[in-house]
Amino acid sequence: MRYDLHSHSHYSDGMLSPAELIAHAHAAGVEALALTDHDVTDGLPEARAAANQVGMRLIAGAEISVTWSGQTLHVVALGIDPDNAALQAGLARLRESRNQRAQEMAQRLARHGMDVLDEVHLRVRGPILSRTHFAHALVARGHARDLRDAFRRYLRRGSPGYAPCTWAAPEEAIAWIRAAGGLAVLAHPARYKLTSGKLLRLLDEFKAAGGHAIEVVSGSHSRDDALRFASLARKFDLFASCGSDFHGPGTWAGLGALPPLPPDCAPLWPQLGITGSA
């Protein structure tokens, strides 16, 4: 079975509708896909209907924004009941923070002569505003060459359009996921660039708070990253997940184009009730 347990639709910062995403995944040979939009589950019914039509397995998910030790991390929720009240109350709070942050970002960019909020709103299809929407708007207005350039110049921490935001605490996000019957996965851990001491502390706390797995194979991981996180997953008795983090055609990660998990990992999918080998 070919799994991809991390992807986005236009309900968050992806470029495709859930139905288009399912069609792309199906064409790419993916047999089990998780839709994991940032802080929102509104795309799941449309994805579910499209997946049923082509006989693809859809895993209900979300990617929850978390603040840990002053840094933003992402926790992917898999196999959740999207109707769970605790989960939805938590996500609603994060969307509120997000949308306040977006106002702040728009003001900061405007002070630097970049009035992009109208352009941002043209691109928003769901209930959240993401830095990715700002990046697309900055490119469209000619302030940046491409998304990467927009993040580097204006949107990353320390640059003119960046506004800080306090997200959920890791233990809160994990508690919402568990309340909704899901599994909590630390997303793309290599992206956080943590010192080894901090990384060990994070994994220790993540495990103690009830986290289930880490993304060992990710669209943003090198093979060396995958080997390193496979060994850390074993050390902390965490399952191993794999996901492209697909946002759209022509972006940095392809759907389902993932190498296998390194040997000796305990794959997460049997815990989701998915059968078959990787």
- Residues at the site binding ligand AMP, with contacts judged by CB under 6 A: 13, 38, 65, 130-132, 147-148, 151, 247
CB-wise, 37 or 172, nearer to Mn ion? 37
Q: Which is nearer to Mn ion, 13 or 42 (CB)?
A: 13
Q: Least distance (Å) from Mn ion to the CB of residue 261?
A: 19
Residue 229 binds which one of ligand AMP, Mn ion, none, with CB within 5 to 8 A depending on kind? none
> In the bound complex, what is the minimum distance in angstroms from residue 67's beta carbon to ligand AMP?
11
Say which entry of ligand AMP, Mn ion, none residue 151 contacts (CB below 5 to 8 A, set by partner kind). ligand AMP
Q: For residues 112 and 156, which CB has a smaller minimum distance to ligand AMP in the complex? A: 156
Beta carbon nearer to ligand AMP, 145 or 148: 148
The amino acid present at 216, given as its one-letter code, is V
Nearer to Mn ion, 62 or 187 (CB): 187
Q: How far is the CB of 203 from Mn ion (least distance, A)?
A: 17
* CA atoms of 156 and 257, how far apart (whole Å): 27
Residue nearest to Mn ion (CB): 74
131 binds, among Mn ion, ligand AMP, none (CB under 5 to 8 A by kind): ligand AMP
DSSP class per residue in the chain:
--EE--B--TTTT-SS-HHHHHHHHHHTT-SEEEE--BT--TTHHHHHHHHHHHT-EEEEEEEEEEEETTEEEEEEEES--TT-HHHHHHHHHHHHHHHHHHHHHHHHHHHTT---HHHHHHH--SS---HHHHHHHHHHTTS-SSHHHHIIIIISTTSTT------B-HHHHHHHHHHTT-EEEE--GGGG---HHHHHHHHHHHHHTT--EEEEEETT--HHHHHHHHHHHHHTT-EEEEE--B-STTSS--TT--PPPPTT--BSGGGGT--S--
Residue 178 partner contact from Mn ion, ligand AMP, none using kind-dependent CB cut-offs of 5 to 8 Å: none
Cβ at position 45, least distance to ligand AMP in Å? 22
Minimum Å distance from CB 104 to ligand AMP? 12
| Tokens describing residue 270 | 């049997």
Q: Closest CB to Mn ion among 42 and 63? A: 63
Site residues (vs Mn ion, CB under 5 A): 13, 63, 74, 187, 245
